[in-house]
């Protein structure tokens, strides 16, 4: 039996477990803070950071903002580190995220842990 279930936002097909968590992480990181009417604090600062120059300081801000948003909104995953795998003139950044997946974290149970990674494409506000 799946520990978590949901619906694929693109296809409407069922999603479970890690696939559901990956979709959640992508939704969190691509939603600008303030964009949700009934939940203004939901999301991350990443859409505002995408168009910044890729200096060390700004890349660190990307990683930090991703970790903070995931920590706040996704109890099934804890980010250990990230890596920008692609950034180009299209206004999108591909961010690889590595960490620990807790299948029952949304229930407050952190007894089961698995190393996992995901890749999220972050689009800026203007994309």
User: Residue 126's pLDDT is what?
Assistant: 59
Are 84 and 120 a contacting pair, CB within 8 Å?
Answer: no
Q: Does the structure show a pLDDT above 90 at 124?
A: no
For 5-48, write each residue's pLDDT tens digit: 999 999 999 999 999 999 999 999 999 999 988 899 999 999 98
Domain boundaries defined on the chain = 5-123
- Say what the pTM is: 0.91
Give the percent of the chain with pLDDT over 90. Answer: 71
Is 69 exposed, middle or buried, given 0-12, 13-18 or 19+ CB atoms closer than 10 A?
Answer: buried
For the domain covering 5-123, report its CATH number: 3.10.450.40
pLDDT reading at 78 higher than 90: yes
Find the mean pLDDT for residues 52-72.
Answer: 93
């Amino acid at each position: 039996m799946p520990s978590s279930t949901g619906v694929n936002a693109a296809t409407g097909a069922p999603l479970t477990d890690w696939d559901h968590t990956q979709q959640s992480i992508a939704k969190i990181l691509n939603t600008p803070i303030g964009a949700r009417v009934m939940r203004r604090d939901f999301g991350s600062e990443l859409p505002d950071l995408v168009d910044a120059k890729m200096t060390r300081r700004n890349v660190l801000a990307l990683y930090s903002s991703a970790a903070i948003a995931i920590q706040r909104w996704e109890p099934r995953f804890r980010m250990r580190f990230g890596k920008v795998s692609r950034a180009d003139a299209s206004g999108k950044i591909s961010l690889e995220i590595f960490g620990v997946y807790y299948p029952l974290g949304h229930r407050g149970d952190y007894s089961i842990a698995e190393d996992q990674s995901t890749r999220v494409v972050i689009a800026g506000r203007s994309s």
